[in-house]
Each structure stands twice: as structure tokens, then as C-alpha cells.
Structure 1
Amino acid sequence: MDFKLDFKIIDAHSHLWLKQDTVVNGLPIYTMENGRSFFMDEVRQMVPPFMIDGKNSAEVFLSNMDYAQVSAAVVTQEYIDGIQNDYLLKVAHKYPDRFFVCGMCEFRRPGYFAQARELIASGFKAIKIPAQRLLLKEGRVYLNCEEMMKMFHYMEEHGIILSIDLADGAIQTGELEEVIKECPNLKVAIGHFAMVTMPDWLEQVKLARYPNVMIESGGITWLFNDEFYPFNGAVKAIKEAADLVGMEKLMWGSDYPRTITAITYKMSYDFVLKSNELSAHEKALFLGKNAEKFYGFKDLVDLPYIKNMSE
């Protein structure tokens, strides 16, 4: 079906890398072949099997985006992919109108404030913290510790966005709320739709009651994978979060490319577009307009609908 949209679609949570080669919690993660990676202690299908070289490149993503009529994407990071700052900076310079990239520091060890300053000086407009990875066996890294707070104040002063994924439920919400109160002008995007399928997920959503805090849905189809398309539970959760904080505080994210091992990229948002549970205005806010305003996207590309051979 050819949807005539009066807004541009923006993906608020995606990933890019050329090669995975890292260690998390003492366990290896590295790219294999046919879209597979060795992931900690087993082989996993990390990307679709037709990506035979394992390269999750900007060009392949752009092809998916163009087909799915997604005008722009926020590229976040996670330690399981390795730190991708060098590649993402090149991507941002090459495709400035299509990608908004987040830098990432080594937050698991002291010294990340200096790294953050270097990333900001190099051109990054956002810093990503995979906070769920900071509950280390050797000692937890708190979001409200001295070095973190120093970094957050610096980010606030320089207009840098904080992109953050939290551990399940309310484990870290108290720490992040202290940061939000201490730095009221720091823009914060909380990922993975507050780990919606886990207990106490609404405690994360409630943080979006603060003016500069948003919730993005990266990974929501992964979290509702057992239910599968058309993800009625995910739509219900979006409505529940909107009732709590308002639809203007919520943004769509795909968690590309991992989620497209199960579904197509377009399916990661069209379950929202085709839902009868949301109004046209709510869909426009969630799928694009909120992210456009929050991240400051300009001159978004207008993408035509390309008819499938199967139609």
C-alpha cells in the first residue's frame, strides 16, 4: 500500500559498524560470516544472512532507509559492537543530512570525562551511555558519581544530547533522575522503550515528565518478539506510555540491524502506521515529528514510495 505521509519518518535508535571485535564482561564478541557473530559464548545471527561479510555499513542502511521511506536516523552505540567513534564520525561527515551520530566513551573505567571532551571537540553532538553494562562484577559505575556529574554538566553547557539505555526497571532511575534535576537543560533520550516488557518499566517512562527527557522505542519489536507482528502489545504499551507522559515525549526507533533478522526494516515501524489504535496525529509525532524537533534535523529528504515486484 502506498502511504501518502504528511511528515518525514525518523529512526531514533540504530547501530552501524564495519566489524565487531570486542569483549564484554570478559567474554568475546566478534564478526564471523553469513551475518553471524560469536556472541560471548555462542554463535548468534547478528545481522541478516545476506549481509555475508558482516559489515553493517551506512550504505546498506541507507538502502534500507530509502526503501522504507525513512528520511534520517540517529546512530547510537553499544559495547557489544565495540566503540565505533571513528567510523561514525566519517559517516556523519559523508551523510550529514541522513545521520545524527552518538559518540561513546569507555565508561567502565575512570577517565571518560576527558574522552567525552575529545569526542565533543571532534564534532559529536551526542554521547551514548549503555548504562545497563555498568553493573559490573568488579563494582558498579553510578550515573551520579563525581566524574559522571562533571561530564553531564559539561554536556549541558555545550548543548550535547545524552542518549542512554538503562538496566531493567527502576535499578538506575534514581541515579538518572538526580542527573536530570542537577542538569535541567541537558537533553536526555532514554532507549529501548524503558525495557517495556520488564517489571517497573513505567518508572523509566515517568522520567519523561521532565521537560528535556524523551523515550525512544529502539528494540521494542525485539522485546515483543514472542508476540510478533503486528505487535499489538507494543502498540498497547505505546498508548500506555503516552497516557502517562504524552505522545509528544515518545519517539520511534528500530534498533537496526539486529531486529531485522526477524522482520524487515519497514515492518519495524509500519505496525504503528497501520494500527487503528493511534490517531494520524499521534503517528506523526511518534514516527518523526518528535525526533525532528528533539535532534534538530533540518532539510529532511523526501523519499518516494517504490512499488514492490510482489504488488
Structure 2
Amino acid sequence: MTTLIDSHVHVWKDDPAYPFAQGANVPAGIDASVEALLALMDAHRVQRTVLIQVIHYRWDNRYLADVLRRFPDRFHGVARVDPEDPAAPDHISAQAEQGFRGVRLSPAEGPQGDWIAGASMQPLWSRCESLKVPMTLLAPASRIPEIAKWIDRFPDVTVVIDHMADTPLDRPDLLAPLLSLQRYPNVFVKITHPWSLSRESYPYDDAFAQVERVYDVFGADRVMWGTDFPVSLPYASYGDVVALYRDGLRFMPPADREQVLYRTVQRVWPFGID
């Protein structure tokens, strides 16, 4: 049986104990609770999952913290902090004490994301360095040069780039900066979101040409898969996305597929699976 560790899933619950942020655009009719996720994981033989704090709660990580407390053997969690809050480094420390194994920043492409180059980043990256907390970045390809400057200053921080920086398939000029991050040994890339890039239907062969390019440059030991459930549901079911990676990485030798499907994730978020 193929070992599977999913590197990217969101959970939330419509519960007054965990209120959504004001203005949150929560999809209707989706059961994104941890109970629903566990049922899917068991049905499709996904042993472990890394949970990424969903934007619906903004900086309130309480639901995810409760999930990690209840199911420590199945999940690791990545929290979110307000990057412009001077107290953000202390929030990262508190989250680490709660069991979180990383922080996620999401600099947008427009002016609202310019904080990625601002003064608030220095203490935040410094705290990640001192705590050995991985930094996960949901960023468009245009932000990669600014991110690279912080990696230069903090080369010991483990950095994970989500969704291949959502680089458009027809923009090799934007893919080049992402591929250039290969020079930093602590940078990893999630080969997720092929459906959002593809002009084709499942199994998104055109997008997997880009996946193969990322793999060729970074190598299997710095690339990881993920379902992005339930964000992926408009495109494919959870089971279909699992199959997409479990069965669709035939351009890799078996040892490399094993690396991408669970060993790379364990380099960043150790679960202790052999």
C-alpha cells in the first residue's frame, strides 16, 4: 500500500464557538469539518494530513488548535498571523506552544500585499528562525523576488511555496523566479492546484507538464503533493485528487514518487512514519 501524507488541507465548521471572520465568503453546502475529513482520509488510505489555517477565520486559529489537540496522531497544523501586527512574532511563539508546526503568510499581488517587503517582516522571520518554525507562503509568482530577499537574509528558515506560486502555464518568465529558488536548500514547493492552472479537464495533463518541470529542477526530496481539500471540490472529488497524484506521477521513478507522496512532507512536518 502506498503511504500518503497530504501536505495541504483546510478544515472549518459552522459553529458559533468558532465564529467566521467578518465578511468571510464561506462556501455553502460543504462539510469541511475534521470528522468529514477523517472519513475521507480513511476511505482513500491517506495516513496523515497537514492542515493549513483557512482564511475564513483570518487570524483566529482556535478551531484548528482544537483539531490538533483532539487528533495529534493524524494531523500537523500551520497557523496564520496578521503580518502587519507588531505582536505577530509573539503569536507565532504562542502557537508553537499550542502544537502548531508552522505559519502561513499570504501576500497578495496588488498593493495590499506590499507588506511582504516591509519592516514587519524582519522580526517575524527572525522568530521563525529562532523557533525553527517553517514558513509557508501563499504568494503569486510576481512576489517571488521579494520573498527571495528574505530567504537570503534568513537561509536557515524552512520555506514552503504553496501551489507552485500559481504560476500561469503560459508565463515561463514567471516560472523562472520560482525555479531559481532551487539554490536555497531549505525551500520546498507544493505541486498543488493543477486544476486552477489547466485549460484541460481532469487529469490536467497540461498543468502536469509544469509539475514535471518543477520536479526536474527541485528534485523529489523538495517537492510535495496535496489535495487542497475542500477548495478543490469544484474541480474534482477528494478521491479523484488523491488518485491524480498517487497514480499520475508516472514520469517519476518509484522511489521519487514515494518521496513526493510522503517522505518530503516528513522532512518539513515529521510524523514519524517509516
Match of residue 118 from structure 1:
94
Match of residue 9 from structure 2:
14
| Structure number with higher relative contact order (C-alpha < 8 Å, ≥ 6 residues apart) | 1
State the shift of 1:84 in Å: 4.4
Match of residue 181 from structure 1:
152
Change (3 A) 1:59 1:134: farther
- CA distance in 1: counterparts of 2:161 and 2:260, whole angstroms: 14
- CA distance in 2: counterparts of 1:61 and 1:294, whole angstroms: 22
CA contact (8 A) 2:78 2:100 kept: yes
Once the two structures are superposed, the pairs formed by residues 260-279 of structure 1 within 5 Å of their partners are 260-275=233-248, 276-279=250-253
Q: 1:79 aligns with which of 13, 35, 55?
A: 55
Partner SS, residue 140 of structure 1: helix
Match of residue 45 from structure 1:
none
Once the two structures are superposed, the pairs formed by residues 39-188 of structure 1 within 5 Å of their partners are 49=29, 51=30, 55-132=31-108, 135-136=111-112, 140-142=114-116, 144-167=117-140, 169=141, 171-188=142-159
Which string of whole-angstrom CA distances, capped at 9 and with x for unpartnered residues, describes residues 2-35 of structure 1?
xx32xx2111111111137335xxxx3344xxx5
- CA distance in 1: counterparts of 2:109 and 2:43, whole angstroms: 34
Q: Does 1:192 align with 2:157?
A: no
Instruction: Give the number of equivalent residue pairs.
Output: 266
Flag structure 1 segments of 5+ consecutive residues without an equivalent: 37-48, 301-311
Which string of whole-angstrom CA distances, capped at 9 and with x for unpartnered residues, describes residues 80-130 of structure 1?
553341111111111112111011112255542333233233332211111
- CA distance in 2: counterparts of 1:133 and 1:114, whole angstroms: 27
- CA distance in 2: counterparts of 1:76 and 1:208, whole angstroms: 24
- CA distance in 1: counterparts of 2:97 and 2:38, whole angstroms: 27
Higher strand share: 1
Flag structure 2 segments of 5+ consecutive residues without an equivalent: none
Which of 1 and 2 has greater Rg?
1
State the shift of 1:66 in Å: 1.0
Higher helix share: 2
State the Cα RMSD in Å.
Answer: 2.3
Partner SS, residue 206 of structure 1: helix
Q: 1:238 aligns with which of 204, 207, 211?
A: 211
Q: Runs of 4 or more off by more than 4 Å in structure 1?
A: none
CA contact (8 A) 2:182 2:217 kept: no
Q: 1:219 aligns with which of 193, 196, 202?
A: 193
CA contact (8 A) 1:153 1:183 kept: yes
State the TM-score, normalized to the length of structure 1: 0.77
